[in-house]
Chains A and B, each alone.
Chain A
Amino acid sequence: MAAIPSLAPSLPAREALLRRGAANVGRCYQCATCSSVCELAPAEAPFPRRLVLLAQWGLVDRLAADPAVWLCHQCNDCTVRCPRDARPGDVVGAVRSLVIEKLAFPGFLGRLVGAARVSWPLLLALPVLFWVALLSWTGHLAVPAGIEANWAYEDLVPHRYIYAVFFPVAAWVLLAAVVSGTRFWKLIGSSGQRQGSLLGNLLPVLTGVATHDRFAKCTAAKPRRLGHLTLLWGFVGAAVTSGLLIVGIYVQHLEMPLALAHPYKILGNVSMALLLVGIALLVGNRLGDAKVAGASSAFDTFFLSLVVLVVLTGTAVELVRLAGDADLGRTLYVLHLGVVMSLFLTFPYSKFAHMLYRTLALVHARMTGIDMPKQ
C-alpha cells in the first residue's frame, strides 16, 4: 500500500495570512466559483480555490512551491463573484507576501520587511539617515558657498558617492534576488516537467509583460492594469535614462544639467510623467471599491508608499532645480537618494519582489506547458 502523505497544518501560518489580508479565508466553502471565473487559471491546474484551501490549513510549504500563486494577477474577478465573500484575490495576495518572506535571503531581512506594519519607519529612515551621515562626514551636507545659478546636483552631491553606494547596493540586491529566485525555481520545479531553456522562454514572457497581455483578460481590474502598465514603463524609462546619462557623462562628456530639449532629458521627463500618472491611477484604485482593489495590508501599503515617495521626491528634485533653490534642492535630493536606496534594498523582500517571482513563474508555466490554451 502506498504511503499516505501527511499534512502539517500550521495555525501560525494561517494566522500570519489572516494578518496579511486574508482576513476572510475561513469563510471559503470550496464551491470553486473562483476558479471557474478566473481567466488566468490554466484549465488543467486551476486556481484560486486550491490555493485558498491550502491557505486555510496554513500549508505554506505547498504554497511556496505552487507557481499558481504568481500566475494570479489579483484581478479580483474571483472576489467579486465569491458567494462567501472569502475574497480569494486577497487570500492569494497574502500568500504572495508570506512566500516572499519565506524565500528571502537572508531570512531576517525578509522578516524585517514582512513586518512592515511596525518596521516601516526604520525601513524608510535608515537609508535617509545613512545619506545624511555620509554627506555630513564627507563635508557635502551644506550647499557650497557661491554656487552658480545654473547649478547641477553633482555640485551638491558628487556622483562618485552615488556610485560608491548604489553599485554595491545593486550587487547585494542582485545576489539576494538570485539566491531567492533559485530557491523558488527549484521549489516550483516539482509542479511539472520543464522543456526548453529558461532564457529561451524568458523573451516571450517579457514580451507579454511589456503589454500586460494576461492582465488584459481581467474584468474587475481593468483600471489597475492601466496604472500598473504605465508605472512599469515609467520605471523602464527611468532606468534607461540613468544608463544613458552614464554614457552621456563619461563617453559623450555632456555638460550637466542637460537642457530640457535634450533627448535624454525628454526621455527622463516622459518617464517621470508616466510614473506620476501610473502611481496616481494605482493609488486612486486603492481608494475605490475594496473588493475590486483588494485588501491593503501594510505590506502592500509600504511598497506603494515607497514608490509614491520615490516618484514625488524625484519630480520635486527636478522642479526645485529649475526654480533654482539649492537649499531646498539639497534637502529633497538627500530624501530622494534615501528612498531610492530603500526601494533598492527592500526589492527582494517587499512587494517589489513580485517582479522576480511572477516572471519566473510565467517562464515555468511556459516551459511546462500548463499555461497553454486548451485545443
Chain B
Amino acid sequence: MSATRPRPLLVVGAGIAGITATLEAAEAGHEVVLVEREPAVGGRAIRSHHYFPKLCPPSCGMELNTRRLERNPRVRVITGATVTACRESNGGREVTVARTPAFVNDRCTLCGACSAVCPAKVKDPFNLGMAEVPAIRLPHPYAWPKRFVLDRDACPAGCRKCAEACTYDAIDLDAKPTQETIEAAAVVVATGWNPYPIDKLPELGGGVLADVIANVQMERLAAPAGPTGGKILRPSDGKPPTRVAFVQCAGSRDTNHLPYCSAVCCLATLKQAIYVHEQLPEAEITIFYIDRRTPGRNEDMLTRVAELKGVHFVKGKVGSVVAGADGSLVLKAEDVELGRIVETRVDLVVLATGMVPNLKSDETPFGLLRDEDGFGVEGAAGVIVAGVARRPEDVAATTRDATGAAAKACMVTGRSA
C-alpha cells in the first residue's frame, strides 16, 4: 500500500444498490472496487419490466449507470466473483475475492458464432428459468460488461465447438478460477435479495399449478427481452389470459413463511395490473389483499388502478388456489367487506411474493450482525450494509439508502487514507 494511492472502497453486489454506492463514492473521488457474483451487473432491478411509479423500463437508467461505471477511471468492476473472506486489517478490511474461470475474455465481439454451434441448452437464469438458452450466450440484451458467458457445467464431455467457432480467440475452455486479495478501506455489503420461492406455497398452487406464477415471473412475461417477447401468456397453453388474479402477501407477513412485509409487493402488483390492462384491455383483473400499502405519492398508483375498467379489489387473503374443471384456476377467499366466501375463477394467478435477503442463507464472510429475518444490521467496523441486504425497500429507497452508505464509507475511507 503506497501513501499516494489510498485503499479503495469495496462494494459487494452490483445491483441497483451496489452500482449506486459505487458511482456515488467514485464520483466523489474515491477508488472503488465493485464485486458481482453474476456475469453482468444489474441484479434484480434489471430483471424488472417496469419501475414504479414511473412505469419506465429499468434498462435505460441502467444503461446510464453502466456508462458511468465504464467511464470512471476510479471504478474497477469484477464480475463472476464472490467474496470468500473479509478480515479486519490495519483499520480497514482485507478482502479475498474468488473469481470463476473467465472462459470468455474481453476479445469477445458478441458475434454469436459460439451460440450458434453450442449443442447444450440451459435454463435461462436471467429469465428465472422460464426459457432455455445455449450454454454460451450473451446473458441478456442489456448485459454489461458486454461479453458472452459460458455455463461450463452444461458442456457435453469433450465438446470444444464454441472455441473452434470463435475467430477472435475470445474463448478459453481451460480457464481456471482465480483469487485475489484486496486491501479495502471499507466494505459496502449490497448483496440484495432473492424472491421467496413459490413452491413453498403449494396451497396457493405455487410449484403445483403451471399457471400460478410469482410476481417476478410476471415481470419477465411482460418484458420485451422475456421468454415470450413481452406477450403476457399463460405458461400452460401459451394463450393470453382473460382473467388474472393477484394474491397479495403470498408467503409474506406470515409466521409460517416470511414474517415481515417486503414493502414493494403492493406497488409491484399495481404496476403489473396497469401493464396487464394496457396489453389485455378486456382482461378482468382481481387483486386480493389484506392491506394496500402505498405510502406517500405512491397512493396515486392506487387511485389510478382503481379507476381502470375491469380491475377489482377484494379485501381478504386467498386461502387456496386449485385447478378448475376447464383448465382455469379457482381462488377461495373471504370477501371481508361483504362477509362472505368468494370463489373466483381465473386463467392466471400471480403470487405477490416477498424478498429474502441473500445474507440470510449465504455463509456470509462479512462478520455482520443480522436480524432474525436475515437482514444485515450495521455494527462491524468498516462494513456498511446497503439496499435490500439491510431491509426490504423499493428501487427509489434503495438508491437513497446506497447513497447514504457511500457517504458513510467515504468517511471511513477518508480517515484511513
Contact = CB atoms under 8 A, between A and B. Distances in A.
B316 A36 contact: yes
Interface in A12-66: 29-33, 35-37, 41, 43-46, 49-50
Of B256, B320, B341, the most chain A CB neighbours within 10 A belong to B341
A262 B254 CA distance: 59
Contacts of B332: 36-37
B249 interface: yes
A51 to B, nearest CB: 12
Given A46-B339, A46-B340, A83-B317, A35 B334 contact: yes
A33 B339 contact: no
Interface majority SS (helix, strand, loop, mixed), chain A: loop
B255 interface: yes
A85 interface: yes
A35 B320 CA distance: 11
B333 A32 contact: yes
Contacts of B253: 29, 31, 83-84
Nearest to A50: B339
A194 interface: no
Contact of B317 (A36, A45, A50, A85): A36
A81 interface: yes
Contacts, number: 64
B70 interface: no
A32 B317 CA distance: 6
B318 to A, nearest CB: 7
B319 interface: yes
B241 to A, nearest CB: 22
Nearest to B253: A83
B290 interface: yes
B369 interface: no
Nearest to B318: A36
Interface string B316-357: 111110000000000011101001110000000000000000
A81 B319 contact: yes
A169 to B, nearest CB: 43
Contacts of B373: none
B290 A31 contact: yes
Contacts of B341: 35-36, 41, 43-44, 46
A127 to B, nearest CB: 44
Contact of A44 (B254, B315, B333, B340): B340
A117 to B, nearest CB: 28
Contacts of B256: 81, 83
A30 B336 contact: yes
Interface string A86-113: 0000000000000000000000000000
A84 B319 contact: no
A185 to B, nearest CB: 23
Contact of A83 (B254, B316, B333): B254
Contacts of A37: 203, 319-320, 332
A161 B284 CA distance: 75
Contact of A81 (B203, B249, B333, B340): B203
A273 B6 CA distance: 85
A30 B249 CA distance: 13
A43 B340 contact: yes
Nearest to B290: A31
A31 B255 contact: no
B290 A84 contact: no
Given A33-B317, A37-B320, A49 B249 contact: no
A45 B335 CA distance: 11
Contacts of B203: 37, 81
Contact of A45 (B249, B257, B333, B340): B340
B322 to A, nearest CB: 12
B255 A32 contact: no
B64 to A, nearest CB: 40
A31 B318 CA distance: 9
A242 B339 CA distance: 47
Contact of B316 (A29, A31, A85): A31
A83 B255 contact: yes
Nearest to A29: B290
A361 to B, nearest CB: 18
A84 B255 contact: yes
Contacts of A35: 316, 319, 334, 341
Nearest to A83: B254
Contacts of A82: 255
Given A32-B316, A43-B341, A83-B257, 7 more contacts: A31-B290, A31-B317, A36-B317, A36-B333, A46-B334, A49-B334, A85-B255
6 contacts: A29-B253, A32-B333, A32-B336, A37-B332, A49-B334, A81-B256
Q: Which 4 A-B pairs have the closest CB atoms?
A: A36-B319, A83-B254, A35-B334, A32-B334
Interface of B: 203, 249, 253-257, 290, 315-320, 332-334, 336, 339-341
